[in-house]
A and B are shown apart, each in its own frame.
Chain A
């Protein structure tokens, strides 16, 4: 049941299958084009993801409208997982693939190209491209390349994850604060969720690190420490994939951040090690992956806890007497349907085989009379139910009025069997006497209204 609920929640519910397929095709074509053009990994990933953004944004807004706070928590959890994946990939690049941490990665810019030409590493005819390098030859203490046992330079990826261009202190801080306030926002609705409290505590600790580091990065510019800056030369290796070659160091005066503040509070070479003399803390990349693991795992668990009772907001409004679990089960049984402005949902006299709950837009209730003009009865809006009268009355079986979309209309469709379960207080799945009473009361009011208006129309 949980997998079914999650499957529904994670699938496209508001966007047509046709649009999803077109987007997938565009994404695929852009990806193939990027691969054939020899683009680096980050641009292949960029072109693959970019067509999906409008579709995901539309679906995200729809989910929040229909599932309320649980949808916000779900989207937030997906973003946290993506963020954690970036940290995890960076650690893999460092520890498994001999990557070099130079973030954001060096660019194929004028300076690096000039050095490559003067060192005989590059054809002078090739102009700078401004691409980020994908690979870096490891520099030694002298700033020149380290040779491996085979006499060849040691080479590995630029260890800045996939989107290394975004590996900036301000991006880390903004993401951290989005995480902190987003989790607080989720706790506002799910304050009994212990997992979210754990994630919140970890985010508060993580905020200490990033606020400190970012302060030094932007507001402490006094350069009083003598040090060196690594120099790079860049050249293409295949297509638009570039490598950075270390060509020495230049002396430079460094500010607090560059001299050591970049390691933050608890990482290797950070404040804790400096003040205590202890040596053995993990490097910054590994430590921050750990922070994100401590944030992401409870966030996922917190979402799973809430998702077990994920339910549609409009069903919750219309069937307020059902329990949370019953509403969650009912949410699985309904179908999303859309109607254009002016389109009829059903006509008077049609067979009654389903009822509807409006989630978006307005619908007119119209009474059709022989030899008389149509009689407008009412306008229904989001959260209201219609079509239940024919299902309540076994004898009626036919629609007693016409329903037409006054604006673009979106509804949840409840089939006859599910409705019967809702109304059967003894053996039905939902067994809610209160729901039955509520619906009967609503239907009686509607029928009286139709009768009264019908008589008025006759006279």
Chain B
């Protein structure tokens, strides 16, 4: 039981700061402009997923 608490404590030390991180309202001033500034990130992710998917489909169909 004691070891479990130590484990929990070690894990929680890294977690408590992120409570509410995945919830709460939008910050003031956050909107379309904010996303447009980061659109390159979204496009890179789209490209990454596209190529990853294409590679996996190629490997699957090659075996067939």
Contacts and interface: CB of A to CB of B under 8 A. Distances in A.
Interface of A: 100-107, 109, 111, 130, 132, 165, 167-169, 180-181, 184, 187-188, 191-192, 200, 204, 207-208, 211-212, 215-217, 220, 225-227, 229-230, 232, 254, 256-263, 265, 269, 271, 274-275, 284
B38 A256 contact: yes
B19 A102 contact: yes
Nearest to A284: B22
Given A101-B23, A208-B45, A258-B21, A274 B16 contact: no
Nearest to B32: A274
Contacts of B41: 212, 215-216, 220
Given A107-B16, A211-B48, A212-B42, 19 more contacts: A102-B23, A109-B12, A130-B5, A187-B60, A192-B64, A204-B53, A212-B41, A212-B45, A215-B45, A216-B38, A220-B38, A227-B28, A258-B21, A258-B27, A259-B34, A260-B27, A265-B42, A271-B35, A274-B31
A102 B22 CA distance: 7
A204 B49 contact: yes
Nearest to A105: B19
Contacts of A165: 11-12, 15
A258 B61 CA distance: 41
A103 B41 CA distance: 25
A269 B30 CA distance: 10
A263 B22 CA distance: 8
A132 B5 CA distance: 12
Contacts of B35: 271, 274-275
B58 to A, nearest CB: 11
B22 A103 contact: yes
Interface string B48-64: 11001100100111011
Contacts of A269: 25-26
A441 B55 CA distance: 46
Instruction: Please give me the 8 A-B residue pairs with the lowest Cβ-Cβ distance, nearest first.
Output: A259-B27, A227-B27, A225-B27, A101-B23, A260-B30, A184-B56, A259-B30, A211-B45
Contacts of A180: 52, 56
B22 A262 contact: yes
B8 interface: yes
A256 B45 contact: no
Contacts of A217: 21
Given A208-B45, A211-B48, A262-B22, A274 B12 contact: no
A101 B23 CA distance: 6
Given A103-B23, A107-B15, A216-B41, A225 B28 contact: yes
A257 B18 CA distance: 11
Contact of A211 (B21, B28, B34, B49): B49
Nearest to A244: B19
Nearest to A209: B45
Q: Which of B9, B29, B34, B60 has the most CB of A within 10 A?
A: B60
Contacts of B8: 130
Contacts of B16: 106-107, 109, 111
Given A216-B38, A271-B35, A104 B49 contact: no
Contacts of A111: 16
Nearest to A110: B16
23 contacts: A102-B19, A103-B23, A106-B19, A109-B16, A165-B15, A168-B18, A188-B59, A191-B60, A204-B49, A204-B53, A208-B49, A211-B48, A212-B45, A216-B38, A220-B38, A220-B41, A258-B21, A258-B24, A258-B27, A259-B27, A260-B27, A260-B31, A262-B22
Nearest to B37: A256
B10 to A, nearest CB: 10
A206 B16 CA distance: 27
Contact of A257 (B19, B21, B23, B46): B21
A260 B26 contact: yes
Contacts of A101: 22-23
B25 to A, nearest CB: 8
B31 to A, nearest CB: 5
Contacts of B42: 212, 265, 271
Contacts of A103: 19, 21-23
Give the one of B26, B34, B48 with max A CB within 10 A.
B26
A184 B61 CA distance: 11
B46 A208 contact: yes
Nearest to A260: B30
Contact of A275 (B25, B32, B45): B32
